[in-house]
Structure 1
Amino acid sequence: MNTADLGLPVAVPSTALFTDQYELTMLQAALRSGSAHRRSVFEVFTRRLPEGRRYGVVAGTGRVLDAVENFRFDETILGFLRERGILDEQTLKWLAEYRFRGDIWGYPEGEVYFPGSPIMRVEGTFAEAVVLETVILSILNHDSAVAAAASRMAVAAGDRPLMEMGARRTHELSAVAAARAAYVGGFHLTSDLAAGFRYNIPTVGTSAHAFTLLHDTERDAFTAQVDTLGSGTTLLVDTFDVTAAVRAAVEVAGTGLGAVRIDSGDLLLIAHRVRQQLDELGATNTRIVVTSDLDEYAIASLAAAPVDAYGVGTQLVTGSGHPTCSMVYKLVARADTEKPGAPLRPVAKKSMGAKSSVGGRKWAARRLDEAGVAEAEVIGTGPVPAGLTDRQLQVPLVSGGKVVAREPLDAARDRHIAARAGLPLSATQLSRGEPVLATEFH
């Protein structure tokens, strides 16, 4: 098994500068004050779900593990910080030896979450944990937003396959991460070869309108494609006249034509007409693939149409209107001294308004009703109640600085399907609503 099978990047450069400057200036000040090595606990959570969403999806955990493992300050990075005058020599010397040696716990990738869920907990010295804030949040906020959109689209699509096609609608590196997150959320294929290469996601793609326009006639284009890719290929039939294109497609490829793709127009109406035409021509097994700025609502509106697969781009990679999950990384407990074994005490922001937080190192569990359906997200500090000990959600991800939770990407995908199935049925409604589970603080 190669690294791609486990969802590992082929080559990952240092992630140390995926950092906001204030993390390093806090580090410098803490080193000077003597508080940098106090044992500390940071937690990642969100105070609310995006408006109208009923659940969130944890995605990007595997990428976080890669980022923490590759958080190293080499000479080039240290030289940049020195030349800019950002840090003093004492801090640069400390960073030169930086390795995260603490522990990380979190919801496993693919799990669902709710407001207040301690999605990830980072424990170590203040110095080693504070510098990871930005890189952890940037990954989790982006990937979880895409995975949540993907999950809603997967619910709307039912058993019909979904293809991720958003690489041209976002940053080239975000496109790879988005394809990975979409796969966790329930998509089946990606058009992005970098994502296929890096994460072993199945890839797909045939031709665009430009290929048809390159040739003297549509028939010539179809013939060239079938000669190259075989009759099982997918032919794009909406460049000119759909009816004429479908007829030519079957004449060129035969009744064994794999699929036709529709990328514009009234998809519901055209899909019905194309299905009827294909059946009349004897191409009863030829599938119909639709694209064209789809989101979960458009997919749901096509549930009764004779559509066999969907391709989604812009709306998916932008989180279908919610490109971030508003996750935060907050210090919730710390020791009063640097002595080993010094007890932790809860700390929390108590400002006015919605930005206050709850102090203390937290556990999380999901309580089920008598039918085995989730009924509440329970979060607390101190001992876990006996009835919830076997329903805890957090698992060890990093122990003593060593990653302990590598897994194939399919494991996260399967976990999400199971987690979503364990929620109340109203979780799958696309209409706006409140989180499907209430969060209870114990």
Structure 2
Amino acid sequence: MNSADLGRRVGVPSTALFTDQYELTMVQAALKAGTAGRRSVFEAFTRRLPEGRRYGVVAGTGRVLDAVENFHFDEEMLGFLRDQSIVDGPTLDYLADYRFGGDIWGYPEGEVYFPGSPVLRVEGSFAECVLLETVILSILNHDSAIAAAASRMSAAAGGRGLIEMGARRTHELSAVASARAAYIGGFDTTSDLAAGFRYNIPTVGTSAHAFTLLHDSERDAFRAQVDSLGRGTTLLVDTYDVTAAVRTAVEIAGPELGAVRIDSGDLLLVAHRVRQQLDELGATETKIVVTSDLDEYAIASLAAAPVDAYGVGTQLVTGSGHPTCSMVYKLVARAESADPADELRPVAKKSMGAKTSKGGRKWAARRLDEEGVAEAEVIGTGPVPDELAGRQLLVELVRGGEVVAREPLDAARERHMAARAGLPLSAMQLSRGEAVIPTEYV
């Protein structure tokens, strides 16, 4: 595969300071105690899905691999840590030579997950694994939240086009990550050129209301756009009077007009009126694109409208009410030494309340019913039952510090569509409910 297949990984800075201070102070204390080298297993998972969600979507795995590969401390970073007295000299020496040399397994990107699913498993020494906690969670929590919202919107759209256009509603770097996650979740295009450049996501865009207001008349604006971009362009028709704008648009572009965009008003009513008008004017192939602060519920409400594509911004890049998946990264097993032959011992937090976790290095498999539909997420620490051996979910991502599982973004997108199709139909319901399949521990 060439770089165009996998996305442009250019100008990627070190990710070593995308972390919390206590990751470094734990390493310092463990080095002094002689426990930093103990062989350890960490797992990223969520104890519950966001309220009302039926399934989660794994997204950000490719970005995690980049982050792990670029996690190293340069002289300027080490100088900052030294000047601020954040860690001591021996710890600085350890960090100066740091490169992750362990193994990572995880659910492949685009796969669905449920409460307790070991979405990512990181194995190595305690010190090298714990340093990655914050950056891994930062990526997985953000990208998986966006992908889950995108998946719900994709299901609600029922095959109609989806345009990601949230760049102006979030941090500029989050916008690029959001476009990537949205593409995995089922969106078709993005308005963000940085996302198109880095991840080869198809980009779209024509004009805003400002372009119409710039000209002396709406006719002049439409003429300028058609002259520049061709008859197949999309004209924004709600700056003044929609009916007059549609008539003018067809007069200028002819029945070959690509699309009209509606960005305000009662979208259901206006879309029906515009479709009727376009047909009467002979523009029967002209598409209708609607925007205006849409979410999955608004998209579902437009199912009966003659809409061809939806543009979604704010609600998508904020996770449609759930901007995080609440994933955690916990030590689940460790040995007494760095010796690979030393037995791993399960460990887990046992405090009161909802923050308990289950110890042990885990496998996960999805059990299917007689019709091939998912019926349970099965998680265990012992031998894998024969009937589930072919249904295991974790795949090898990093071996001995080397990434072994990069793939084109389209592969994750296709995987998600297949995984979602394999869930019970109730997974597509937008009404509040529990996880669509239970999690079983064996």
TM-score range normalised by the length of the shorter chain: over 0.9
Q: Does 1:210 align with 2:210?
A: yes
Q: Secondary structure at the match of 1:254?
A: helix
**Cα distance in structure 2, aligned partners of 1:440 and 1:85:** 46
Matching residue of 1:6: 6
Please name the residue that 1:328 is paired with.
328
Task: Tell whether the 8 Å contact from 1:8 to 1:66 is kept in structure 2 after alignment.
Answer: no
Look up the match of 1:244: 244
Question: How far apart in 1 are the matches of 2:18 and 2:159?
Answer: 39
Instruction: Give the CA deviation at 1:301.
Output: 0.5
> Aligned equivalents of 2:143 and 2:213: distance in 1?
36
Secondary structure at 1:210 match in 2: helix
* TM-score, structure 1 as length reference: 0.99
Match for 1:98: what amino acid? Y
C-alpha distance in structure 1 between counterparts of 2:323 and 2:4, whole Å: 26
Q: In structure 2, what is the equivalent of residue 227 of structure 1?
A: 227
1:57-68 alignment, distance < 5 Å: 57-68=57-68
Query: Are the aligned partners of 2:8 and 2:197 in contact in 1 as well (CA < 8 Å)?
Result: no
Contact (CA 8 Å) 2:40, 2:331: kept in 1 or not? yes
Counterparts of 1:337 and 1:256, CA distance in 2: 71
Correspondences of 1:160-239 after superposition (within 5 Å): 160-239=160-239
The alignment yields a C-alpha RMSD, in angstroms, of 0.7
- The answer as to 2:275 corresponding to 1:275 is yes
**Which amino acid is 1:102 matched to?**
G
How far does residue 4 in structure 1 lie from its aligned partner after superposition?
Answer: 4.0
Q: Cα offset for 1:8? A: 4.3
- Residues 139-148 or 9-18, more deviating: 9-18
> Any conservation in 1 of the 2:166–2:314 contact (CA below 8 Å)?
yes
- Find the residue that maps to 2:12 and give its secondary structure: coil
Do 1:7 and 1:407's aligned partners in 2 also have CA atoms closer than 8 Å?
Answer: no
Normalising by structure 2, report the TM-score.
0.99
Give, in angstroms, the shift of residue 5 of structure 1.
2.2
Q: Is the 8 A contact 1:53 1:432 kept in 2?
A: yes
Aligned to 2:123: 123
Structure 2 spans left out of the alignment, 5+ residues: none
Give per-residue Cα distances to partners, 1:248-296, cap 9 Å, x unaligned.
1011111110000000000000000000000011101000000000000
Whole-angstrom distance in 2 between the partners of 1:343 and 1:4: 43
Matched residue, 1:395: 395
CA distance in 2, matches of 1:8, 1:365: 33
What is the Cα deviation at residue 341 of structure 1? 1.8
Q: What residue identity is the alignment partner of 1:53? A: R
Name the residue aligned to 2:291: 291
Hey, what does 2:101 align to over in structure 1? 101
Q: What letter matches 1:341 in structure 2?
A: A
Separation in 1, partners of 2:388, 2:150: 30
Q: Distance in 1 between matches of 2:324 and 2:283?
A: 44
Cα deviation code 1:30-70 (max 9, x no counterpart): 00000000000000000000001000000000000000000
> What is the alpha-carbon distance in structure 2 between the residues aligned to residue 256 and residue 370 of structure 1?
50
The answer (yes or no) to whether the contact 1:332–1:361 under 8 Å persists in 2 is yes
Counterpart-to-counterpart distance in 2, 1:73 and 1:383:
39
Shift of 1:342: 1.1
In the alignment, the residues of structure 1 paired with residue 376 and residue 8 of structure 2 have an alpha-carbon distance, to the nearest angstrom, of: 34
Show the 5 A alignment for 1:299-378.
Answer: 299-378=299-378
* CA-CA distance at 1:340 after TM superposition: 3.7
Task: Please say if 1:84 is aligned against 2:84.
Answer: yes
| CA deviation after TM superposition for structure 1 residue 7, in Å | 3.0
The amino acid that maps onto 1:314 is T
Q: Which residue of 2 aligns with 1:140?
A: 140
> Structure 1: 5+ residue runs without aligned partners?
none
**For residue 55 of structure 1, what is the aligned residue in structure 2?**
55
Distance 1:424 1:313 in 2: 29
**What letter matches 2:159 in structure 1?**
D
The amino acid across from 1:114 in the alignment is: F
- Residue 2 of structure 1: CA displacement? 4.3
In the alignment, is the contact (CA less than 8 A) between 1:4 and 1:10 conserved in 2? Answer: no
Shift, 1:174, TM fit: 0.1
Identity %, equivalent residues = 83
The offset of 1:10, in angstroms, is: 1.9
1: CA distance between counterparts of 2:238 and 2:2?
40
Q: CA deviation at 1:367?
A: 0.3
User: Could you list the runs of 4 or more consecutive aligned residues of structure 1 that deviate by over 6 angstroms after TM superposition?
Assistant: none
Conservation of the 8 A alpha-carbon contact between 2:68 and 2:100: yes
